[in-house]
Chains A and B, each alone.
Chain A
Amino acid sequence: MLSYILKRLALTIPVAFGVSIVCFMLVHIAPGDPLTSVLPPDASAQLQSEMRKLYGFDRPLPVQYGLWVMKTLQGDLGVSIATGRPVASELGKALGNTLMLAVLATMIGFLFGCLFGFVAGYFRDSWIDRLASFVSIIGVSVPHYWLGMVLVIIFSVQLNWLPATGAGPGGSADWAWDWVHVRHLILPAMTMSVIPMGIIARTVRALVAEILSQEFVSGLRAKGLLDFGVFRHVVKNAAPTALAVMGLQLGYLLGGSILIETVFSWPGTGFLLGQAIFQRDLPLLQGTILVLAMFFVALNLIVDIVQSMLDPRVQRA
């Protein structure tokens, strides 16, 4: 077990290293001198060269990268160009808001996904299966930013039941788990849960169908053994994979929150990323993407390890 974890960790380190290189290069593939957006337009030549030194752009790329990594490891992600505030503090708050949304969406998605998937797989090829499968394929096919808009049209514009945007009357600053705030969370979380719901449903359906088609299980069923026993068997065998998919989905939601957060003006990392892009705030862009990607890498690692604990067969794969 321990050796598997170590092996898995060893595999993660080069990937994390590569991810950091990609994030670092983002600033350098951006058209134009990265400094043009940093410098005031009336900067003198002297100020320009000073800034160059300050940002370290006068050094060779590998050295720049090294320095950047060192600073990043100390938690210093640089300073936002647009606001002059440290990127790390801007990100910290946003990350909390996105996590709240994504975790809730994943939970909703997991619950309904398992339900639909299980029913579909259990009553395979019946009309229930077709219906449940159809719902799950809608989940993976719907453009969620559009779904968000439609939900806003129905629940905010037409019915005026739920707020259309924002994270509460006072922004996210005074978040509390009361109705005044939670009602802001309902529409974005519902919208966001649709993708994991679809994917988990499809996974669970396939798993359940496969387990049920194993000979000894069909033998059990044929013998008229209590369905509960079969159910337990299915859950035990399907759970590790379903949980793994759920873990990865959480990572995808965190990374892909920009579209939903834009629709709902939710003050999370995606919203921040959108602002960074349109203000050409490269340090903020770089920092946000690095943190989200690293989150995803770490999540992948955790999912693998947990899965291997639940299901020793995985280690052999």
Chain B
Amino acid sequence: MRRVFHTLTAMTVLSLASPVLAQGTLRIGMTASDIPLTTGQPDQGGEGQRFMGFTLYDALVAWDLTRSDKPSGLIPGLATGWSVDANDKTKWTFRIREGVKFHDGSTLTADAVVWNFDKLLKSDAPQFDQRQASQGRSRIPAVAAYRAVDPLTLEITTRAPDATLPYQLAWIGISSPAQWEKKGKNWQEVAKEPSGTGPWKLAGFTPRERAELVPNKDHWDKTRIPKLDKLILIPLPEPNARTAALRSGQVDWIEAPAPDAVPTLKSNGFQIVTNVYPHNWTWHFSSAEGSPWNDVRVRKAANLAVDREGLKELLGGLMVPAEGFMPPGHQWFGKPTFKLKRDLAEAKKLLAEAGYGPGKPFVTKILISPSGSGQMQPLPMNEFIQQNLADAGMKIDFEVVEWNTLINIWRAGAKHDSSRGATGMNYSYFIQDPFTGFIRHLQCNLQPPAGTNWGHYCDKEMEGLFDQIRTTFDAEAQNKVLEKVHEKYVNEALFLMVTHDVNARAMSGKVKGFVQAQNWFQNFSSISMAP
């Protein structure tokens, strides 16, 4: 019966839609609940960038996503090269790639790049867009000024010497000024028909339901011209719905399959693709006045209470237990002395030393989200940790907010009303470079609203280390500083360090040629669909 049914379905599909399917359409079920913003700076976190950022757009600096065997590095993107002035370390020169066309046919120039910076940073510019600015502004805190020297030369001045500028610029997708003019200078209209320089073009989208991307056959990098005919993105925030969609053949690929569903998916012939990538899953503590986490003993107690092996069981093995803020074996790991292991006796002892006990129970509130890019399986995981901490005598209350809301709260800071008095939030981090890995979380001048130091942390020693990172342009020497930073992160238990994701994806056997880079972003150009 089942086979007959399948055949029938297959026949119907063939008769109706076979011309499209046969030529290679890849349908992906995302974890986001909506189509990410299409105008250049996507919302929906790292997943938004993955699917609606580096597909439609290119940045000046790009990630090398062609290898799966080593962490990805930076390569030239829309800039063919860059250099920092030997005398004035705040002055950078970027050479713009010649002859790059936007999807609308207009040509990329240094002026267009300046126009894009204004779009994000200059709130009185006509093209300023609040929606994109709130996504992009915090990505480039180093940028102080910029100008087009000539049509193919861009000069950027940073606030202070900052060796991490190229990493920051890798976030900024360049959208077409001409398209904005053509659409009546209205971003709302541009969103429907955006124009970038990326390997994919947006063919259309239905909010909350699907987006359709087609190849940009004229992309400047011939190796990145997509083999597929179509890439379809479908928001499926519910893990169950994603699994169901994959099993029933509605999609060919799902992001973050529910760990519980992995064994059945495997036995049904689906491939599970994983790879380590620079991600961590933490509770970001508040250092605001009155936060119980201001006491290092409390932070350590919580870190010692977490049963990371048990959590791995919960996730069906799809995680790497945290030994620090960076994944184990990372080049910046260093030699921290505080070991992240479950030790309830020690946790209870530390908590008692901090003054908590039967007379003064430990109670606090943590913000969590039910889903979200990089958040893994937030509800059961947080519930599990809640139980772990309860074992050590720490009572945690949760405030559950939707993922995009959590991002906004994260930007607003622990002292903002929207944080609702919580002293921590469950947030998973993209930790790919010195800035996103360390600096942005804890630098004094990045306290909200200026940046994303959500907890309002400010520490003199840490400031000194951060300054060293920015002013050390030699890679080897910079790594040494980064090791010191990481040791301080771990030894002072500045976060609740729980786990690293392995970026699991489940896909049908028909998906060929995908190379999973050790990165948050992926290259979809090499993929084809077996008939």
| Touch between chains A and B, by CB atoms below 8 Å | yes
A: which residues have CB within 8 A of B? 32-33, 36-37, 40-43, 82-85, 90, 93, 152, 156, 159-161, 163-167, 169-173, 178-180, 183, 265, 267, 271-272, 275, 278-280
CA–CA, A160 to B244, complex, Å? 10
Cα–Cα, bound, A57→B131 (Å) = 21
| B244 adjacent to A275 (CB under 8 Å) | no
The residues of B that contact A156 with a CB separation of less than 8 Å are 244, 248
**How many Å lie between the Cα of A27 and that of B412 in the bound state?**
21
Q: Within the complex, which residue of B2, B134, B240, B401 is in contact with A42, where a contact is CB–CB below 8 Å?
A: B134
Query: Within 8 Å of chain A (Cβ to Cβ): is B152?
Result: no
Measured CB to CB, the nearest residue on chain B to A85 is B207
Which residues in B have some Cβ–Cβ distance to A below 8 Å? 2, 5, 9, 12-13, 16-17, 27, 33-34, 130-131, 133-134, 137, 188, 191, 206-210, 232, 234, 236, 238, 240-241, 244-245, 247-248, 250, 370, 401-402, 404-405, 408-409, 411-413, 416-418, 448-450
Residues of B within 8 A of A42 (CB): 134, 137, 411, 448-450
In the complex, what's the smallest C-beta–C-beta distance from A169 to chain B, in angstroms?
6
Please tell me which one of the listed residues B17, B209, B401, B409 contacts residue A171 in the complex, with CB atoms under 8 A apart: B209
- Offer 14 A-B interface pairs, CB within 8 angstroms, sorted by A: A40-B133, A41-B409, A41-B449, A42-B450, A84-B131, A84-B188, A164-B248, A171-B209, A178-B12, A179-B12, A180-B12, A180-B13, A265-B241, A279-B405
Quick check: B206 and A160 within 8 Å, CB to CB? no
Task: Please report the C-alpha to C-alpha distance between residue A179 and residue B33 in the assembled complex, in whole angstroms.
Answer: 27
Complex interface: chain A residues within 8 A of B188 (CB): 84-85
| A-side contacts of B238, CB under 8 Å | 165, 265
- Asked if B209 and A172 sit within 8 Å, CB to CB, the answer is yes
Please, how many angstroms separate the alpha-carbon atoms of A47 and B164 in the complex?
31
Given A85-B207, A169-B17, 4 other A-B residues pairs in contact with their CB atoms under 8 A: A33-B417, A163-B244, A165-B238, A167-B209
* Interface majority SS (helix, strand, loop, mixed), chain A: loop
Cβ–Cβ < 8 Å partners of A165 in chain B: 236, 238, 240-241, 244-245
- Shortest CB-to-CB span from B486 to chain A, Å, is 28
Q: Is the CB of A161 within 8 A of B210?
A: no
Complex Cα gap A280–B240 (Å): 24
The CA of A275 and the CA of B238, in the complex, are separated in Å by 12
Closest to A264 in B: B241
Residues of A within 8 Å of B401, CB to CB, are: 278, 280
Residue of B nearest to A86 (CB): B188
Whether B404 lies near A159 (C-beta < 8 A) is no
Residues of B within 8 A of A267 (CB): 208-209
CB-based contact B405/A280 at 8 Å: yes
**Bound CA span A114–B119, Å:** 62
A278 to B399 CA separation, bound complex (whole angstroms): 12
Instruction: Tell me the smallest distance from the CB of A128 to a CB of chain B, in Å.
Output: 32
Residues on A with C-beta less than 8 A from B17 are: 169, 180
State how many angstroms separate the Cβ of A76 from the closest Cβ of chain B: 14
Chain A residues in 8 Å Cβ range of B209:
167, 171-173, 267
CA distance A90 to B244 in the complex (A): 25
| Closest Cβ–Cβ distance, residue B38 to chain A (whole Å) | 11
CA distance A178 to B12 in the complex (A): 9
B250 near A82 (CB under 8 angstroms)?
no
For A40, list chain B residues within 8 Å (CB).
130, 133-134, 411
Residues on B with C-beta less than 8 A from A178 are 12, 16
A43 to chain B, nearest CB (A): 8
Q: Is there contact, CB below 8 Å, between A173 and B206?
A: yes
Contact of A82 among B13, B34, B450 (CB under 8 A): B34
CB distance from B269 to the nearest CB of A (A): 13
B12 / chain A contacts, CB cutoff of 8 Å: 178-180
**CA distance in complex: A12, B200 (Å):** 53
Give CA–CA (A272, B34) in the complex, Å.
Answer: 11
Most A C-beta atoms less than 10 A away, residue of B134, B248, B416: B248
State whether B206 touches A275 (Cβ < 8 A): no
CB distance from A266 to the nearest CB of B (A): 10
B245 and A83 contacting across the interface, CB-CB below 8 Å: no
Report how far A41 CA is from B409 CA in the complex, Å. Answer: 8
CB pair A171–B234 under 8 Å, yes or no, is: yes
Contacts of B210 in A (CB 8 A): 170-171, 173
Q: Which residues from A are CB-within-8-Å of B206?
A: 93, 171-173
Q: Report which residue of A37, A171, A183 has the largest number of chain B beta carbons within 10 angstroms of its beta carbon.
A: A171
Selected contact of B412 from candidates A41, A160, A172, A179, CB within 8 Å: A41
Partner of B418, one of A41, A172, A279: A41
Task: Please tell me if the beta carbons of A41 and B411 are within 8 angstroms of each other in the complex.
Answer: yes
| Chain A residues whose CB sits within 8 angstroms of the CB of B34 once the complex forms | 82-83, 275
Asked if B241 and A166 make an inter-chain contact with CB atoms under 8 angstroms apart, the answer reads yes
Residues of A within 8 A of B240 (CB): 164-165
List of B residues within 8 angstroms of A32 by Cβ: 417-418
CA distance A83 to B490 in the complex (A): 38
A169-B404 CB under 8 A given contacts A40-B130, A42-B450: no
Partner pick for B248 among A43, A163, A265, A280, CB 8 A cutoff: A163
State whether A279 touches B244 (Cβ < 8 A). no
Inter-chain CA distance A186–B371, complex, in Å, is 28
* CA of A32 to CA of B449, assembled, Å: 19
Q: Which residues of A contact B404 (CB under 8 A)?
A: 82, 279
What residues of B have a CB within 8 angstroms of the CB of A82 in the complex?
34, 404
Which residues of the partner chain B approach A179 to less than 8 Å between Cβ atoms?
Answer: 9, 12
B191 CB contacts on chain A under 8 angstroms:
84
CA distance A90 to B409 in the complex (A): 25
Contact for B2 among A43, A160, A265, A272, CB less than 8 A: A160
A179 to B418, CA, bound (A): 47
Complex CA gap A180/B209 in Å reads 17
Q: Which of A32, A37, A41, A171 has the most CB of B within 10 A?
A: A41
| A162 (CB) vs chain B CBs: closest residue | B248
Q: Is the CB of A90 within 8 A of B207?
A: yes
Q: A42-B450, A156-B244, A160-B248 are known contacts. Are A180 and B207 too (CB-CB below 8 A)?
A: no
B234 and chain A: residue at smallest CB distance:
A171
Q: Is the CB of B234 within 8 A of A164?
A: no
With A and B bound together, what is the CA distance between A36 and B413 in angstroms? Answer: 13
Which among B134, B236, B408, B417 has the greatest number of chain A C-beta atoms within 10 A?
B408
Inter-chain CA distance A43–B13, complex, in Å, is: 50
Docked pose: A41 CA to B134 CA in angstroms? 8
